[in-house]
Amino acid sequence: MKRAVLLVLSSMLCTGLALADAKLGVRCGAGERCGKEVARFGVITDIHHTNKPDSASRKYSAALPKTEHFVATMNRMRADFVVELGDLVDLLSGGKDPVQNLMEVENLFTSFNGPTYHVLGNHEFDNVKRADLLSYLENTGIPAGRTYYSFDHNGIHCIVLDADYTVAEPHRPFDLQDPANPFWTWKDAFVPQEELDWLAADLAAADRPTVVFAHQLFHRDAAEDHTVKNAPAVRRLLEQDGQVLAVFSGHDHRGEIAYVNGIQYIVLEGNVGISRDWPTVSPTNGLDPVKDGQFAYVEIRELNAPAFNGRKAYQVVVTGSGQQYSYQDEIQIAP
Ligand SMILES: [Fe+2]
């Protein structure tokens, strides 16, 4: 396996492009190679709604207004759908009903004027039993209880993965646990064989460019803390398919971009904080829902470029809000 080429966040990445100023997404004139749009969607990650006190690097108290700003922006942009990449909630400090805490942010997220989808993060299991959690989360058109699934929108196929399983056999799914006797930690992340088999079949059946959503990371060395411990097995399936454009993740709030064997791995910055003390990053101290509300508006376009070596070219354009970086690149996949 060739190693990841990590792209430093350089001058090609503009931080904090204002989604409010209408300078959005792809801009090109008639006849240029921008081609046709095949999808547009919103992605947000690591909202961490809780009644816990704020810290210097995590502003829990701004979770609801930031979620509201995300939904309002995606409604204005007429996004096809929105995805939340996990850690919707965080451990409560006591005195608050866990279901009320969950539904406060869930009701805001699902107020988007279109389909909404969730990826499970590790913190989802901090306060509520698994069975209850899965009954409360709304994934449009997906049967309740499914934690990995797929759907099509316009010109793309979307796959949501669930890596919230213990590394130790028998790879137990995460659940509410006794803090005195835990069976998983935030460093546990694994995709069990049954899910790998489903992924292989789903990829084989899909007939269009594919985008993958997950909480944990796949592109780094598997021993790294934020990375799925059997990531190479997942990457192998994605690479063999030949139609995967990009993988979006959260979990490591610092964000990152990597390119591995023809696939973009886009790690979004945490909405609650970007793992740096807010006073050093923003004069609004991480509390302003517009200036510090991290999320991305994504457009995918099929380029007018002639096929190169029989491969079609697509453009993935990520426009960041708040401190979230912006980025765009061209990816070639099998037709
Ligand atoms: Fe998180």
CA distance linking residue 195 with residue 213, whole number of Å: 14
CA 90 to ligand 1 center in whole angstroms: 8
Cα 9 vs. chain centroid, distance in angstroms? Answer: 18
CA 298 to ligand 1 center in whole angstroms: 21
Asked if 234 and 196 count as a contact pair (C-beta separation under 8 A), the reply is yes
The residues whose Cβ lies within 5 A of ligand 1, an ion, are 46, 87
Strand partners, 333: 312
Q: Outline where DSSP puts E strands in 5-122.
A: 5-6, 36-44, 81-84, 116-118
- Using DSSP, state whether 295 is helix, strand or coil: strand
Paired sense of beta strands 244-249 and 256-260, if any: unpaired
Please name each of the domains of the chain with its CATH number. Answer: 38-305+316-324 (3.60.21.10)
CA 159 to ligand 1 center in whole angstroms: 20
Strand order in the sheet with 5-6: 5-6, 256-260, 263-267, 244-249, 210-213, 156-160, 149-153
CA 47 to ligand 1 center in whole angstroms: 7
CA 322 to ligand 1 center in whole angstroms: 17
**pLDDT value at residue 310:** 72
Residues 231-286: tens digit of each pLDDT: 999 999 999 999 999 999 999 999 999 999 999 999 999 999 999 999 999 999 99
Residue 71 has which token pair? 């939904």
Q: pTM higher than 0.85 for the full model?
A: yes
CA 28 to ligand 1 center in whole angstroms: 36
Average predicted confidence (pLDDT) for the chain: 90
Amino acid present at 231: A
Cα 72 vs. chain centroid, distance in angstroms? Answer: 18
